[in-house]
């Protein structure tokens, strides 16, 4: 189902969807109100959601859908409008799974790439199981049988951590908001972050995250010395790594496992240059990026955590880390920040 108030964009999206034989358009509506009415009739597998809608906007529509009839939602947003970006990030926090750029005209040089990305995201996200969401601020994890802690192969830390590396893909923005939001503004480590997201949205993602967590969040720059209490977000379409002198470095090397930035590239650089003083956390996401790198960190004596299946939006990347025995601990999202703080304060391994 397409939700888009602009007739021109709605028709263009319908054309893009019609080109993919694996997608079928069941409805195209121009308002949040109509989307809420139609969803029960057409029962879509996935929704393309505009954010700037008349009446009920895309953020509120997303909230209501996830509360009433949970359905995978892909936000289609204008990457150059700050207000749209912030609303889009909050829609991800409300339960939408990913954000892609709005399509451009068929004569534009970027048309094919953007159209392919839209179809790819709709196909992939249609397969993601979603759960009923309570209002923003409520806990996502409500199952009483969710384990409070699962520890695998803990190694004793020889030194206190000096750098924290975190990575995620699908479901990452709200997971980062919760994890980093539980760390104090005077957190004693720098944080290096990889999020799989379109390059056009990375500045907006960093700005949004900066507004919802106590730490200072910026897009990482070449040659910067990471500071405690600061989060350095990998820029779009470049790898982020820790260099031998402790400075950040940005790499234009080929994608790893189809990803650039890659969590594995970041984690491997931490293993190489921080060794047992590194701390790696792999959160929700589709695929296997980060698992091999987290294993390198684990073998180097670093503390490593993978998010538990009970809280992960998509249990792909953390599951791959568990299979490799790369995670010293496997924890639900709400227990990760306390474990990090305990490790930083006591020097104990995660």
Q: Do 295 and 191 lie in a common domain?
A: yes
What CATH number does residue 251 fall under? 3.40.50.180
Q: The pTM is what?
A: 0.86
**Whether residue 57 is found in the same domain as residue 162:** no
Distance CA 108, CA 94 (A): 32
Domain match, 163 and 285 both: yes
Half-sphere exposure of 201 (CA within 13 A, CB side): 24
Residues with Cβ < 8 Å from 315, sequence gap 6 or more?
284, 307, 309
253 and 306 together in one domain: yes
Q: How far is CA 54 from CA 5, 11, 337, in A?
A: 7, 18, 39
Q: Could you give the CA distance from residue 125 to residue 139 in angstroms, rounded to a whole number?
A: 22
Q: Tell me if 284 is assigned to some domain.
A: yes
| Residues 31-73 pLDDT 10s | 999 999 999 999 999 999 999 999 999 999 999 999 999 999 9
User: Do the domain assignments include residue 170?
Assistant: yes
pLDDT per residue as tens digits for the range 260-281: 999 999 999 999 999 999 999 9
Query: Could you give phi then psi for residue 245, rounded to 5 degrees?
Result: -95, 10
pLDDT interval class at 86 (50, 70, 90) = confident
**Comparing C-alpha atoms, which of 48, 49, 58, 61 is closest to residue 20?**
48
Q: Which domain holds residue 92?
A: 2-125
Instruction: Mark whether 330 and 186 lie in a shared domain.
Output: yes
67 and 182 belong to one structural domain: no
CATH of the domain at 49: 3.40.50.2300
User: Same structural domain for residues 292 and 157?
Assistant: yes
Annotated active-site positions, please? 169, 196, 289
Q: How far is Cα 33 from Cα 16, in angstroms, rounded to an integer?
A: 24
On the 0-12 / 13-18 / 19+ scale of CB atoms within 10 A, 253 is: exposed
Residue whose C-alpha is closest to residue 167's, from 196, 128, 209 = 196
């Amino acid at each position: 189902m397409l939700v888009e108030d602009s007739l021109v964009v709605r028709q263009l999206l319908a054309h893009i969807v019609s080109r993919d034989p694996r997608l079928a358009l069941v409805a195209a509506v121009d308002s949040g109100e109509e989307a809420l009415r139609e969803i029960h009739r057409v029962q879509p597998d996935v929704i393309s959601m505009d954010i700037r809608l008349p009446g009920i906007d895309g953020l509120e529509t997303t909230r209501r859908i996830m509360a009433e009839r949970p359905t995978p939602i892909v936000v289609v947003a204008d990457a150059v409008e700050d207000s749209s970006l912030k609303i889009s990030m909050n829609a991800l926090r409300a339960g939408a799974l990913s954000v892609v750029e709005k399509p451009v005209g068929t004569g534009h040089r970027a048309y094919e790439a953007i159209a392919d990305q839209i179809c790819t995201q709709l196909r992939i996200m249609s397969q993601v199981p979603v759960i009923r969401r309570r209002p923003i601020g409520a806990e996502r994890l409500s199952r009483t049988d969710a384990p409070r802690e699962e520890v695998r192969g803990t190694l004793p830390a020889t030194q206190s951590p000096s750098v924290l590396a975190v990575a995620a893909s699908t479901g990452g923005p709200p997971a980062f908001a919760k994890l980093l939001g539980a760390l104090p503004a005077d957190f004693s480590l720098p944080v290096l972050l990889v999020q799989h997201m379109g390059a056009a949205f990375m500045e907006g993602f960093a700005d949004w995250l900066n507004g919802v967590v106590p730490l200072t969040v910026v897009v990482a720059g070449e040659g910067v010395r990471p500071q405690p209490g600061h989060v350095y977000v990998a820029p779009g379409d470049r790898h982020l790594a820790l260099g031998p002198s402790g400075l950040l470095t940005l790499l234009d090397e080929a994608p790893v496992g189809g990803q650039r930035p890659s969590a594995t590239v970041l984690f491997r650089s931490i293993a190489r240059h921080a060794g047992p003083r590194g701390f790696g956390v792999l959160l929700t996401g589709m695929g296997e990026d980060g698992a091999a790198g987290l294993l390198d960190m684990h073998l180097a004596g670093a503390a490593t955590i993978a998010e538990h299946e009970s809280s992960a939006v998509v249990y792909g990347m953390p599951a791959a880390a568990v299979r490799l025995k790369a995670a010293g601990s496997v924890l639900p999202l709400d227990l990760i920040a306390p474990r990090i703080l305990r490790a930083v304060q006591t020097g104990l391994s995660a």
